[in-house]
Amino acid sequence: MHSLVEFCDGSLIAQLGSPDMRIPIAYCLAWPGRINGPAPRLDLARAATLNFEEPDVGRFPALALARRALEAGGSAPTVLNAANEVAVAEFLARRLNFAGISALVEAALEGALSRNWTKEPDSVEEALFVDHNTRLLTRSLLPEIAAKAS
């Protein structure tokens, strides 16, 4: 399951597919169309059952950060996304270890919240301003977080 949406009436819609990131990537690249990609088709008869467990926020701290950003509302999800993009780029460039990704995102989210950058933007320009400032903030926090995470 790649995604699950719950509606206000309690009903759910799930997007299921083979565990292959080429599927959602192709979906993004072809939006609003679809690409007939190389990923294997999901065979529900072979999958037989789906098992669900409570998320382990200890093992996956980014889940708690995402929930916090959603609960804060406004532009907090924009802050989360911008900080995550910087953190992942730094990880891929080997300037941050894997555990440092969520630590850096958390520090950036804390910084944005303390600076009151998370009000709902009134325009695209304001949203881009939050994104830009968050990226600058996240990069400025990198040396300290990378040192702690190593």
The full set of domains in the chain, from first to last, is 3-47 (no CATH), 61-149 (1.10.1740.10)
- From the list 93, 99, 98, 88, the residue with the least C-alpha distance to 135 is 88
pTM equals: 0.74
Kindly report the three-state secondary structure assignment for every residue of 30-50.
HCCCCCCCCCCCCCHHHHCCC
**Cα end-to-end span (Å), the chain:** 33
Q: Over pLDDT 90: what percentage of the chain? A: 71
What is the reported pLDDT for 70?
Answer: 94
- From the list 60, 146, 143, the residue with the least C-alpha distance to 96 is 146
- Summarize pLDDT for 130-148 with one digit per residue, the tens: 999 999 999 999 999 999 9
